Amino acid sequence: MDRDLYDDVHEQYRETVREFLEREVVPNHARWEEERWIDRSVYVEAAKQGIYGLQIPEEYGGADEHDYRFRFVVAEEIAKVHALSFALTVSLQDDLVLHYLLDLTTDEQKQRWLPGFAAGELIGALAMTEPGAGSDLRGMSTSARRDGDDWILNGQKTFISSGIMADLVVVAARTDPEAGSKGYSLFVVERGMPGFERGRKLDKIGLPAQDTAELYFEDVRVPRENLLGTEGRGLQHLMSHLPRERLGVSIKAIANCRTIFEETRRYCFERKAFGQPIGDFQAVRFELAELATEIDIVQAYVDKSVVAYNAGKLTAVDAAKGKWYVSELQKRVVDQCLQLHGGYGYMSEYPVARAFLDTRIQTIYGGTTAIMKEIIGRDLAG
């Protein structure tokens, strides 16, 4: 299907991204997966090449470029080299943490943090989920109380992407138990603050190189200068940034769908059984036809969502529709493509086998499929 989403400048940028990935990521990714750790130096080089952080204003070292199509190009190219652990960290920086720092910071905070992000020297994380509170953010028990001009933070977070590597962690905490939804605030906790401890690096079934951690806060003294946004509006700040996060999940999902499908299509016309390529059997052709159709149709929705985001018109409901449907499609596409590979699909040397594990989380993080349907359903109910 022809797409008219991109201009020449995006295709020129694509070549820059490809060259960066071939030089800095492809030769190292297998080692990162084995070591369960991505070299920090790659983010310095990525930032230098404009692979992420393009939206940062020029005065802080960025390009002040807000066209989300560049972000989509990056997602597509990383998918093609099957570096999904790296893809998640880039998405975490570009689609989550950075936008909290761009949208909610004071001028003084921007001066402190944005130059480091623009240089790839500061890595961020977002800490919402707790052992007893996942999708139900109002159930969080992490708290912060005033002590003079500072805040004293106590609590625990879990499943925090880049929790070990992060230099800055945006932490959601309850600041007024009596204020309902207006009783939550966001704080930036920095590496080295007394009382801030990182727990074990969690052992996941997929995305091994992307570190995920438990975080502990015991009487962490957070200066008032590290309050992010408006006191008491933490939940609202979180909600307002979810469409960007969910669009990020959608673009990664559709990019991976197409990559795995194209590899499987080629495999089906190279692999022979009963004297002919397996793709010459009607049952296999029909299955490929169904997958190709679904991917093209969903691609159109994601492309439209990117255009809407650029125009400031992507709603939370439309982002939720894309997030659940594209991530569920990804799960189905990868599973069917693995089946078409037969026994080879179960071998970890094949990208489809690794994708089977790496993509399973897509229907969970950023809001589960059930939560996305609840958001859409509430909107339909008025």
Q: Which residues are catalytic?
A: 245
Other CB atoms within a 10 A radius of the CB of residue 52 amount to: 24
Inter-residue long-range contacts of 68-71, CB under 8 Å, 24+ positions, other chains counted? 68/247, 68/306, 68/309, 68/310, 69/5, 69/6, 69/10, 69/306, 69/310, 70/10, 70/13, 71/95, 71/248, 71/251
- Tokens (6 digits) for 337: 């493509």
CB-count exposure of residue 88 (10 Å: 0-12, 13-18, 19+): buried
Residue 42, strand partner residues: none
Which residue bears the tokens 């920086």? Answer: 93
Which residue bears the tokens 């590597």? Answer: 165
Nearest-angstrom CA–CA distance, 209 and 100: 25
Nearest-10 Cα torsion for 121, 207, 361, 284: 130
According to DSSP H, which parts of the chain are helical? 8-20, 29-35, 41-48, 68-80, 84-91, 98-103, 107-118, 234-268, 282-310, 316-340, 351-358, 369-381
Other CB atoms within a 10 A radius of the CB of residue 283 amount to: 8
Nearest-angstrom CA–CA distance, 84 and 79: 7
Nearest-angstrom CA–CA distance, 118 and 60: 7
Rounded alpha-carbon distances, angstroms, from residue 185 to 95, 138, 233, 331: 20, 12, 6, 35
Nearest-angstrom CA–CA distance, 354 and 334: 10
Nearest-angstrom CA–CA distance, 246 and 238: 12
